[in-house]
Chain A
Amino acid sequence: MQSPFELDRRAFLAMLAAAAPVGSAYAQGTPRKGGILKVSAASNPSSLDPTTGGAGSDHIFLYTMFDTLVAFDYATLQPIPGLAESWTYDDPLTLTLNIRPGVVFHDGTPCDAAAVKENLDRNRFDERSNVKPDLSTVADVAVTGPLQLVLKLKQPDTALPLILSDRAGMMSSPTAFKALGRGHDRAPVGAGPWKFVSWADNERVIVTRHDRYWRAGMPFLDGVEFQVIPEVNTGLRSVIAGQNDFVYFLSPQQKQIIDRAKNLTAVTGPTLYCVQFYINTARGPMGDVRVRQALNHAVDREEFNRATMNGLSEPATLTLPSAHWAFDKQMAQAYPYDPDKARKLLAEAGFKDGLDIQALGYTDQRHVQRQEVLIEQYRKVGIRLKFTNGTIPEMTNAFFVEKKGDIYLSAWTGRPDPSLTYQLMFGAGSFYNASRTEAVPEIGPALLETRRSQDLAGRQKAFAALQKIITENALVVPLVFQFEMDAHGQKVKGYKPNLLGKPKFENVWLEG
């Protein structure tokens, strides 16, 4: 069956789109080879093996060392060729991948179909694999040629190409992971633009050029050196002082500091990072759709954006930002700020005199500020938020494991394919669905449909139907999509943000 993921006209256009960042990079001057990019990293990697790691912030390190089978367009997150130069759905249960010729891992092992199969099987079966759920629809992987393999699926799953643009598609050298075992966590061997040199825990990660990288003439940089600085203010100071060249995951409030520093450039762009209230629909009043709808109507997202994000983010009513290919304009209008309607809905639900809600949140200054704004906004409609605060690990455990709190002010970092986002937040049994049940039975079939459609238009339609169910049932309170906020020195050229919000340095070069 013909699919949009074959290297046809659309794929060709997608490849052009992939080249866009490079084109834009050239617009900043002539790229030159050489130099080490020094990056202030916001956290220590959980592991440098994409299969065994778990933190979303690992990707910034992983992208330097690992190429993915499928890449994504920076602006829209549409899938584009990566280590797999093309892919086709021969039928809804058969996905064929054609691997790019001439790719070798950092240790010289060829990245062919056999190597890809070993990676996918490891991801599916290894005891320490954290990406098993991503590949749960794959029944079998068969090598059908030196550079071709066929994935037999248990159920239709057109989300797989974009899933393979994430951890599950990051290819490691089978020679290395078999020889090193657990040691591959700390001495990874991929096929990305740079190869691993060293990792001093909570201190520094260093990578250097992969001379046999498959993209001709790339990468520009001789290497990347990450200095782990968890405190972003300190990270920004290190760039102002010229000790580092680049810092990411800054807050919108830091934009003023960047602008004041004459030697810095601010980079900002939309991301999937959605600040939101998770709702446990299994807890008391949260089971009433009218209460959840009231929560959505009572919040003034524009004001929240101005007060807590310096107006530098995108107010959110859906779980996808407007730049995303699956964004549905119609449903985005579902919850305008309407305190009267919120009060009416609460009264209909039996809470005429208001309602006390137990909320969980974080202790840091930025989150407390968000809480203060929300407490005041909700107070106006009679909802009294009572926050219990702690660290991220504490509160994540409290809400999703111990089932404490009605709502949880946190964020969703996004996934390359939106079906994963919806599955993980609203699917039955999912960890990030505190109730562990589908709030309404229509979710399951709608989720399956998003993975069944064979073309992008079909998938957009399926996501619109799913978003309608989620939105009408108010299963979440999206607040804002936090924009990526980075800062770099003047000599850094060619950097472009991406919608996933996780910086990639593949097209960066250093001037002078």
Chain B
Amino acid sequence: MILLRHGRMIRRRAFQIVPVIILATFVVFGLLQLVPGDIAVTLAGENATDARIQQIRQSYGLDRPFLVQYGTWLWNAVHLDLSRSYLSNEPVLGQILHRFPTSLLIVGGALSLSLLIGIPLGVLAATKSGSKLDTAVTSFASLGVALPNFWLAMILVATFALSWNWFPATGSVALAKDPAKALLHAALPAIALAAGGVAEVARQLRSALIEILSSQYVRTLHAKGLSPMAILWKHGLKNVSVTLLTVIGLLVNRLLGATVVVEAVFAIPGMGSLIVHAAIHKDFPVVQGVVLSMVVIVISLNLLIDLLYTLLDPRVGLK
């Protein structure tokens, strides 16, 4: 239904995605070229010789002009071939599909925690604005924003994994293989990531809700005798839902980026560690593949949020 109603908007966005992908992958490819280092030296290994390095450059096409290399990659990508990793010779698409669920589980867990904790905190703080509870929530939110993910991750490992042995300290398990173990492995990384998210959701929700609850139409509703709970649920929360959606969209993008650090602390083989390893070694097919998939994810997410805006607030509609 929603797809039919907003088909034009979706089509327009689908066309927008093309130049964004080309621009993003081109910029990343260009930056990789500027960074010193040569993957041919890495591939030649400990017995490297100038001749062997040159041979590797030729066989991988690294000696071809910049635009030819990029164009070849793009042409293959258009045909759904993301090429193979220079380092492992594994298909890039296969690597991404293998690792993405791991990162998604952590990001999904962090997002769920952020919303489950952040929304009640934000509502409480807004409805008790100026009270000690509000001060406590605001302080907690400030702390959550200030705490670095990696530091919190290490504290969580030291306490819950090393001292108390409640959770595993490293690694991951596929959700399809063993759901219980997968969730256990994802718990600490998700909590470490969620700290900032909880704070962000609580703060944004609090300020948006305070603004709405102090508006004239809410005062009118009070005067008409509606109960505070009804006002909060029917008018307050419905009106802040657009703000909340915006926060969720930004939060998911941020969480996806933050997995790089958290995956390193917990030795999780996800998208973050994949791109870091590839970027260090200039394994450009992998870097390009991950960037491409991230761009698609972010744009798709933004599109989904735009569609949801129209559901929640018809005024946004088809402007």
**Count the A-B residue pairs with Cβ separation under 8 angstroms: how many?**
133
Instruction: Give the interface size class of chain B.
Output: 35 or more
Our pick among B169, B171, B281 for the contact of A393 (Cβ within 8 Å) is B281
Are B170 and A229 touching (Cβ within 8 A)? Answer: yes
Asked if A442 is at the interface of the complex by the 8 Å CB criterion, the answer is no
Give the complex CA separation of A391 and B162 in angstroms: 31
Asked if B178 is at the interface of the complex by the 8 Å CB criterion, the answer is no
Instruction: With both chains docked as a complex, state the minimum distance between the C-beta of B130 and any C-beta of chain A, in angstroms.
Output: 44
Most buried by B among A133, A244, A400, A431: A431
Interface size, chain A (Cβ < 8 Å) = 51
- Chain A residues with Cβ below 8 Å from B46 are 54-56, 413
Interface positions, chain B 51-101, Cβ under 8 Å from A, are 52-53, 55, 59, 85, 87-90, 95, 98
- Chain B residues with Cβ below 8 Å from A202 are 88, 269, 273-274, 277
- Chain B residues with Cβ below 8 Å from A185 are 89
Are A54 and B44 touching (Cβ within 8 A)? Answer: yes
Name A's interface SS.
loop
Instruction: With both chains docked as a complex, state the minimum distance between the C-beta of A90 and any C-beta of chain B, in angstroms.
Output: 28
Asked if B47 is at the interface of the complex by the 8 Å CB criterion, the answer is yes
Convert A392-422 into 0s and 1s, putting 1 for each residue whose CB lies closer than 8 angstroms to a CB of B: 0111111011100000000001000000000
Are A130 and B38 touching (Cβ within 8 A)? Answer: no
Asked if B48 is at the interface of the complex by the 8 Å CB criterion, the answer is yes
Tell me which of B139-147, B207-215, B260-268 binds A. Answer: B260-268
Contacts A231-B267, A394-B37; A237 near B169 (Cβ below 8 A): yes
Asked if A296 is at the interface of the complex by the 8 Å CB criterion, the answer is no
Asked if B120 is at the interface of the complex by the 8 Å CB criterion, the answer is no
Are B45 and A237 touching (Cβ within 8 A)? Answer: no
Are A397 and B157 touching (Cβ within 8 A)? Answer: no
Convert A411-452 into 0s and 1s, putting 1 for each residue whose CB lies closer than 8 angstroms to a CB of B: 001000000000010000111100010000000000000000
- Chain A residues with Cβ below 8 Å from B59 are 127
Asked if A53 is at the interface of the complex by the 8 Å CB criterion, the answer is yes
Give the complex CA separation of A55 and B39 in angstroms: 13
Interface positions, chain A 242-286, Cβ under 8 Å from B, are 242-244
- Chain B residues with Cβ below 8 Å from A413 are 46
Q: Which residue of B is nearest A238, CB measured?
A: B170
Q: Which residue of A is nearest B269, CB measured?
A: A203
Q: Which residue of A is nearest B35, CB measured?
A: A394
Our pick among A44, A132, A241 for the contact of B162 (Cβ within 8 Å) is A241
Are A431 and B88 touching (Cβ within 8 A)? Answer: no
Q: Which residue of B is nearest A185, CB measured?
A: B89
- Chain B residues with Cβ below 8 Å from A400 are 41
Asked if B42 is at the interface of the complex by the 8 Å CB criterion, the answer is yes
Give the complex CA separation of A434 and B171 in angstroms: 40
Asked if A154 is at the interface of the complex by the 8 Å CB criterion, the answer is no
- Chain B residues with Cβ below 8 Å from A395 are 36
Asked if A307 is at the interface of the complex by the 8 Å CB criterion, the answer is no
Our pick among A53, A200, A430, A431 for the contact of B53 (Cβ within 8 Å) is A431
Given contacts A228-B269, A243-B169, 16 further A-B contacts (CB under 8 A): A131-B47, A186-B88, A186-B89, A202-B277, A227-B170, A229-B267, A234-B170, A234-B265, A237-B157, A238-B169, A243-B168, A393-B282, A395-B36, A396-B41, A402-B36, A430-B49
| A contact residues vs B (CB 8 Å cutoff) | 44, 46, 53-56, 127, 130-134, 182, 185-186, 200-203, 227-231, 234-235, 237-238, 240-244, 390-391, 393-398, 400-402, 413, 424, 429-432, 436
| B contact residues vs A (CB 8 Å cutoff) | 35-39, 41-50, 52-53, 55, 59, 85, 87-90, 95, 98, 157, 161-162, 165, 168-171, 264-267, 269, 273-274, 277, 280-282
17 pairs, A vs B, C-beta closer than 8 Å: A44-B87, A46-B42, A46-B43, A133-B47, A134-B47, A182-B89, A227-B171, A230-B273, A234-B169, A237-B170, A238-B169, A238-B171, A241-B170, A243-B171, A396-B37, A431-B50, A436-B50
5 closest Cβ pairs, A-B complex: A54-B45, A241-B169, A394-B37, A229-B267, A203-B269
